[in-house]
Structure 1
Amino acid sequence: MRLNIPDGVVGILGANGAGKSTLIEAIAWALYGSGGRNSDIIRDGKDGIKNYNASPKEECSVKIVFDLNGTNYELVRSLKGKNNTPNAYLLADGIQTANSDSAVTEKIEKLLGMESKEFFISVFSRQKDLSALSELNASKRKEHIVKLLDIDILQDVVKNVSIDLNFEKHMKDDLESNLKNPDGKLKKDCLIKDRDSLIISKNEIIRELSVLKEKETELQNKKNEASEELEKLDAVYRKYIAAKNAADSKKKEIEIETGHLQSLDMKISDLNKKLEKLPELELKYRSYEEMSHKKEVLDEDRMLFQRRNDIILKLDRLDQNIKSHQAKEAEILTELEKYSGVSSEIDKNTEQISEIEEKINEINIKIHEVDAALKENNKIEKSLSEKISVMRKRGPDSVCPECERTLGEHHTILMNKLQTEMQEVSETIKTASEEKMSLVNSENEEKIHLTALKKRKTHLEEERQKGIDHTAELRSVRKQVKDLEEERKDAENSLTSIKDVKFDSEEYQKITDDLKSLKKSSDEYNGLKGESRNLPNFMQEKKDNEDRIVRQKDELARLLTDLQNIDYDDEAYQSVKLSVKSAEEECSAIQKEINEKQTQSAVIDERIDNKAREIKEVEKTELKQKESLKKISELAALRDIFSDLKDNLMERIIPALTDIASSMFSDMTDGRYLGLELDDEYNISVYDGDAKYPINRFSGGEMDLANLCLRLAISRLLSDRSGKDINFLVLDEIFGSQDQNRKRNIMTALSKLENQFSQILLITHIDDVKDLMRNVISVYDSKEGESVAELISL
């Protein structure tokens, strides 16, 4: 869509929701984008810029061409891709000056001398702005105008500085309280006094330590003298103890050897008594050996006899098993004849199941497609129902949310349109529901058939499995028969190889019993025979033991003689030893006292250091207090400066607004009124002749005109403040509920502003004002549901 907007008053006409305000939003978005602080330019955010019917790949872009201060500018801003990635570029007299979304926004802010908020306030006036100027009380009206002029930021600055000032005063008070103790005395003086007292205590401890160390030296010398004497006596003592220990050790060895000799005498005596029974035990031993040999021969015969009988019994058992398995084989063969042809029947059944499952799957796909369509239409039906309900509640007398006009006949048109759409959607839902019901019935019939086939298949597979099981069982039985026949043949061969053997069980039992009775005597003979071989060893060991005792007694006599020759006085040794111990205890006690004093000294040192640190912290707090006092003075001065600046601006703005609005009001009324004036609370007074009257004395149309002039004065003041010649103005639904005469008067007044604003765009949904304009941009919905804008010259 391309629009060439002419100079002068240009109307933008169209029904509510047709897209009139969207044109202005497009211009604002092209200039400032929608990123960061400009995110509220578009009512629905960035996602509301692109047509909701557009595909993700389609590009959305706005291009505007305008002249500013003698330079021609061409600006293009766009969104691309499914993520709506923004991009932009700006040409000045055909030369590119910016080539990215953020760079173009920054360049436009510099060119126009204002951000998006100031731009909207400067060029864009709505009906609600005019209503606010006429309907708000004095304080609220003043607050509204101050906000439009962006002066409220100074009030915020004064407020924030005051908060910082109060906080800093509290900080200063806290610092002052930290410099004093609870009793009101200065903390630093108390700390210095405590530190000096600790230093005096430290010096006293140093003096006491000096006295203790001198005493320690004296005791150490006394201990050293006693230790030297003890060391000499220790050498004699060690020699005496070594000789005594050697004599005692030798006495212990003699006692051990004597005990061992007595033990050997007892062993030799006991062994001689046992050997007296040896001849009698030898006879019983010979009898036991003869019977053991005879039992070995009988054991061989007994084993062969038992093995022959076991083979005969095994042959009988094998014959019975072979007959039983052969009967089982015949029985299985008869059973297998029942299951022939089952596999082919299963294959046929499987094909039928696959065909029905495929058919059910196709029906399911159709059901899902119908369900999706039903859900979508149900959403549409619910949305339409809610819209109809809202419209019914509002009624024809309700006010349009955009223009604040009564809906009237538009209410009936909208209701008819919504009800027609509702009826079409309901018919679609009914048809789809019937189709779904038919598909579900078909699906259920096929499922019943499928269940019967699957049940039949399960039965056939069970029959086939039985046949498989019987076949496996037949192979197993035949193998078992073969194994049994081979086992019988091996048993016959083993029986043939064994000769006919005879075995007397009574004779075998008698020999076994006799062996048991002779076993103890045989074992006793073998044990005694072994012990008799130790007797010569015992006799030799006894003789060696007696020789060692003689030698050890001679050695003991020599050791006792040496012990008597050592000059050792135990009483003198113990006395010197006690003297050394006493000296060590005195040294230990004095060292303990020295350690305690040193510990006290270290504790006092630490306390002195702590006091020094606390004094430093107090000095830091004193420094912070001085800095806080300085900061309080600076913040108070800053608050006064910004407060005076705000008051000065307010004083300067009221005359400026009065001059601009008064000139406009006089021009718009063809000089009928000489002008208007604003007081400190922004109340409007009108000069009628030589007298000044409050605005509420005049008619509603004159009040609207005066408020319009004030709003336009605010726009002109913001434009002038930017330093740029922005001769562009947008008025959105400013007619409100004016009658035809007042609309004509406002249009006449606006035409007289063309010397101040080269382009004035007038947005309205009121169709009868187009006859009052030379150029109109008609905005309407196309048959395809898209907004169309068309310039019409009247």
Structure 2
Amino acid sequence: IEEYEKKELALEELYQELSHKEKEVQTLQRNHELISEKFINVQKNFKEQQELYIKHNDLLKKQTQLQAQFDNCMQNIAEAKERLKKLEHAKAEYEKLYGHEKKYLECKKKKEIFEQARAMNMKKQALQKQYDELMHELHEKEKSIKAEQSELQKLDDLETTIKQNDSRKKDIEQTAKSLQEELYAIKEHIGGIEKAVKDRKKHIEQIEKLGREAECPVCLRPLHEAYDATIAKLLSEIEEYEKKELAILKSAAEKKDSMLKNTEREVKELDIQLNALQQQKAQLLEKKKNVEKALSELKKKRDNLDAIGLQLQELSAVMFDEQEYANIVEEYSNLEAIHTTFIGLEAQIREIPVVQQRIGQLEKQKNDRAVEIKKINENIDTLGFSEKLYHEVKNEYDSVLQEKEKIIKQLNEERLLYNDIKNAIGKIDDELKKDKQNRKKIDAAKQEFELLQRLDKIMDGFRESVLQMARPVIANYASNLFNQLTQGRYQAIEMDDTFNFQIMDDGRWYPLSRFSGGEIDCANLCLRIAISNAIRDFSGSGAVGFMAFDEIFGSQDNERRNAIINALYTLQEQYRQIFIISHLDDVKELFPSILYVQTTANGSVAKWL
């Protein structure tokens, strides 16, 4: 209760704070609306000025570009006129040097003829030198090849020796393989014997640990007197294995191992010999290869020598005068400087029409730029842009925007606080509602508990009263029906306070456990019918409409089965429907209506017969 009151007090404080916060939000909302209207007007003015500012800047930028192009045209025109003046002077110099250029071309032609003859003469001298050197080289090469061919005669004997050693190595390796297999088989046999010794030692340890009274771990029979004999037998087997079989096998293994090492040593020695022989063979084969290569090269050199001889025959008629060639070269050098000047002037003369065309293009560009500059200046004057007014409007826009953003920030913060207070109120309100519901449930539970206590006392008395009233009625109904079904053999049925039943036989009462299964089932049937009749009588509701029985004929003989069916017929006046469940086919003909249930592959199927 104290916690509930604290929550109510906190809820009241939150409602007060919510009311105050709501007023603050409304004030900020009104301020936001006012500043938004003002911002729209200021923003409109600023956009107009901004558009004028952009247009004005674009015009100024274009004006600057055009003025730069105009000034550049003026400078290019001046430079082109100066260049044209120099070119016209070069044209006058060109005309003066035309006679010298004619002499230069005649001298150049003579020089080219002498240079061809000089080149052929130099080629002739070089070929003669090459021919002499090649003759000497061929002679030396032939001597060297003959010496190496004499050494190659040893190659056949060497290959025969290698084949013999290789065959011997394979025989020894086969012997080594057989020895290794035999040694492996002996070691495997030794391993099996050592395992058998280990197993018997383990059995001895187990028997000694278990003692004389335990079971044998091998045959599972009690040891008793066989304890010592078993251990002695195991020790004897161990001694047999270790002193006889193992000794023989280890000796055989040592001999095989020694023989294997000898064969391996022989293989290594043969490998060394074979490696040495193979190296000698490789060296001889390399020499053979070199000789074949040298013979091929020798043939090529002979062919080359013949070709050089033919060229020397072709050049035998070549003649060259070195002094006359020197005089022509000197004259050519003197005329070449004048020719270089002439060629340079000729190139400059070809430039004159190009420069003249360039001056005309620049004059046109200059005039076009002047017209465009005049038009841009007129557009700037027409625009009417004011730098001062633009900055005033911009400053006002920035100020109003800053104020608007500040109010929006405050409004969002206050709204968040407002929502936090509402959420806190909702949370406390939910907790208070849950507390009220819990208190109602507790009060209802207390009332229900008190009512159940009172009802328990009433029911105890009612149960005793009902038992006293119902017990003789049930016993009477059951006795009459049981006497009828058993054809008077058993006189009556009674029940005690806990509804345990007894049957009278020859004037004495006996419990149900004394009788056969069929008699017990028959008695239970009678009791069920008697209880139904008693309930009907005490309720005052008239006839009970329905009664069902499950497998009541299974434990009865034919005589008692017929008696039960006759009794059920007598109950038709009291029960409108009697439902019998049975698996016995021989009773179905005794009932007017039959619902036959049959199991099929698709499930159970029911039909009326």
Cα offset for 1:420?
Answer: 0.7
Query: Which one of 109, 133, 137 corresponds to residue 321 of structure 1?
Result: 137
Give the 3 Å change call, closer, same or farther, for CA 207–315 of structure 1 in structure 2: same
1:588 paired to 2:401: yes
Tell me the C-alpha RMSD between the 2 structures.
4.9
Matched to 1:591, the amino acid is K
1:421 paired to 2:237: yes
Cα offset for 1:375?
Answer: 1.7
Query: Residue 312 of structure 2 aligns with which residue?
Result: 495
Matched to 2:263, the amino acid is E
Deviation track 1:665-689 (CA, whole Å, cap 9, x = no partner) reads xxxxxxxxxxxxxxxxxxxxxxxxx
Give the secondary structure class of the aligned counterpart of 1:502. Answer: coil
If each structure's strand is expressed as a fraction of its own residues, which one has the higher value? 1
Cα offset for 1:499?
Answer: 3.3
Asked whether the 8 Å contact 2:214–2:223 carries over to 1, the reply is no
Query: Which one of 430, 445, 470 corresponds to residue 262 of structure 2?
Result: 445
Asked whether the 8 Å contact 1:209–1:594 carries over to 2, the reply is yes
Query: Residue 310 of structure 1 aligns with which residue?
Result: 126
CA–CA distance in structure 2, aligned partners of residues 296 and 534 of structure 1: 32
Matched to 1:375, the amino acid is G
Give the 3 Å change call, closer, same or farther, for CA 540–216 of structure 1 in structure 2: closer
Q: TM-score with structure 2 length normalisation?
A: 0.57
Asked whether the 8 Å contact 2:84–2:352 carries over to 1, the reply is yes
CA–CA distance in structure 1, aligned partners of residues 399 and 76 of structure 2: 55
Matched to 1:532, the amino acid is I
Query: Residue 150 of structure 2 aligns with which residue?
Result: 334
1:216 paired to 2:32: no
Query: Residue 112 of structure 2 aligns with which residue?
Result: 296
1:271 paired to 2:87: yes
Query: Residue 205 of structure 1 aligns with which residue?
Result: 24
Matched to 1:300, the amino acid is Q
Cα offset for 1:547?
Answer: 8.6
Cα offset for 1:367?
Answer: 0.6
Cα offset for 1:546?
Answer: 6.9
Equivalent residues in 2 for 1:72-471 (5 A)? 192=11, 196=15, 199-200=18-19, 202-216=21-35, 219-220=38-39, 223=42, 255-385=71-201, 388=204, 400=213, 410-426=226-242, 427-471=244-288
Give the 3 Å change call, closer, same or farther, for CA 548–596 of structure 1 in structure 2: closer
Cα offset for 1:299?
Answer: 1.0
CA–CA distance in structure 2, aligned partners of residues 240 and 360 of structure 1: 107
Query: Residue 473 of structure 1 aligns with which residue?
Result: 290
Cα offset for 1:377?
Answer: 1.7
Asked whether the 8 Å contact 1:305–1:503 carries over to 2, the reply is yes
Equivalent residues in 2 for 1:774-789 (5 A)? none
Query: Which one of 508, 518, 525 corresponds to residue 342 of structure 2?
Result: 525
Matched to 2:107, the amino acid is M
Deviation track 1:98-137 (CA, whole Å, cap 9, x = no partner) reads xxxxxxxxxxxxxxxxxxxxxxxxxxxxxxxxxxxxxxxx
Aligned length: 432
Asked whether the 8 Å contact 1:198–1:604 carries over to 2, the reply is no
Matched to 1:353, the amino acid is K
CA–CA distance in structure 1, aligned partners of residues 420 and 113 of structure 2: 108
Asked whether the 8 Å contact 1:191–1:611 carries over to 2, the reply is no
Cα offset for 1:305?
Answer: 0.6
CA–CA distance in structure 1, aligned partners of residues 63 and 283 of structure 2: 102
Cα offset for 1:430?
Answer: 0.8
Give the 3 Å change call, closer, same or farther, for CA 531–471 of structure 1 in structure 2: closer
CA–CA distance in structure 1, aligned partners of residues 433 and 194 of structure 2: 75
CA–CA distance in structure 1, aligned partners of residues 86 and 115 of structure 2: 41
Deviation track 1:25-49 (CA, whole Å, cap 9, x = no partner) reads xxxxxxxxxxxxxxxxxxxxxxxxx
Matched to 1:483, the amino acid is K
Asked whether the 8 Å contact 2:77–2:362 carries over to 1, the reply is yes
CA–CA distance in structure 2, aligned partners of residues 482 and 304 of structure 1: 28
1:597 paired to 2:410: yes
Give the secondary structure class of the aligned counterpart of 2:319. Answer: coil
Equivalent residues in 2 for 1:743-782 (5 A)? none
Asked whether the 8 Å contact 1:356–1:446 carries over to 2, the reply is yes
Deviation track 1:312-331 (CA, whole Å, cap 9, x = no partner) reads 11221222222223223322
CA–CA distance in structure 2, aligned partners of residues 243 and 349 of structure 1: 104
Give the secondary structure class of the aligned counterpart of 2:410. Answer: helix
Asked whether the 8 Å contact 1:187–1:618 carries over to 2, the reply is no
Deviation track 1:730-762 (CA, whole Å, cap 9, x = no partner) reads xxxxxxxxxxxxxxxxxxxxxxxxxxxxxxxxx
Give the secondary structure class of the aligned counterpart of 1:499. Answer: coil
Asked whether the 8 Å contact 2:179–2:256 carries over to 1, the reply is yes
Give the secondary structure class of the aligned counterpart of 1:333. Answer: helix
CA–CA distance in structure 2, aligned partners of residues 466 and 238 of structure 1: 92
Matched to 2:410, the amino acid is K
Q: Select the structure of larger CA radius of gyration.
A: 2
Cα offset for 1:432?
Answer: 0.7
Query: Residue 8 of structure 1 aligns with which residue?
Result: none
Deviation track 1:442-485 (CA, whole Å, cap 9, x = no partner) reads 22333343334444433443444444334333322322222222
Deviation track 1:536-570 (CA, whole Å, cap 9, x = no partner) reads 665676678779878988x6998799799x78877
Matched to 1:365, the amino acid is E
Give the 3 Å change call, closer, same or farther, for CA 529–451 of structure 1 in structure 2: closer
Asked whether the 8 Å contact 2:15–2:425 carries over to 1, the reply is no
Q: Percent identity?
A: 14
Query: Residue 482 of structure 2 aligns with which residue?
Result: none
Cα offset for 1:220?
Answer: 4.9
Deviation track 1:269-326 (CA, whole Å, cap 9, x = no partner) reads 3334444533554454344323321220111111111111122112212222222232
Query: Residue 58 of structure 1 aligns with which residue?
Result: none
CA–CA distance in structure 1, aligned partners of residues 61 and 207 of structure 2: 126
Asked whether the 8 Å contact 2:213–2:224 carries over to 1, the reply is no
CA–CA distance in structure 2, aligned partners of residues 444 and 247 of structure 1: 106
CA–CA distance in structure 2, aligned partners of residues 560 and 387 of structure 1: 121
Cα offset for 1:238?
Answer: 10
Query: Residue 573 of structure 2 aligns with which residue?
Result: none
Q: TM-score with structure 1 length normalisation?
A: 0.45
Cα offset for 1:582?
Answer: 5.5
Equivalent residues in 2 for 1:501-540 (5 A)? 501-512=318-329, 514-535=331-352, 538=355
CA–CA distance in structure 2, aligned partners of residues 269 and 452 of structure 1: 101
Deviation track 1:112-166 (CA, whole Å, cap 9, x = no partner) reads xxxxxxxxxxxxxxxxxxxxxxxxxxxxxxxxxxxxxxxxxxxxxxxxxxxxxxx
Cα offset for 1:388?
Answer: 4.9
If each structure's helix is expressed as a fraction of its own residues, which one has the higher value? 2
Query: Residue 486 of structure 1 aligns with which residue?
Result: 303
Unaligned runs of 5+ in 1: 1-179, 630-794
CA–CA distance in structure 1, aligned partners of residues 280 and 56 of structure 2: 110
Cα offset for 1:576?
Answer: 5.6
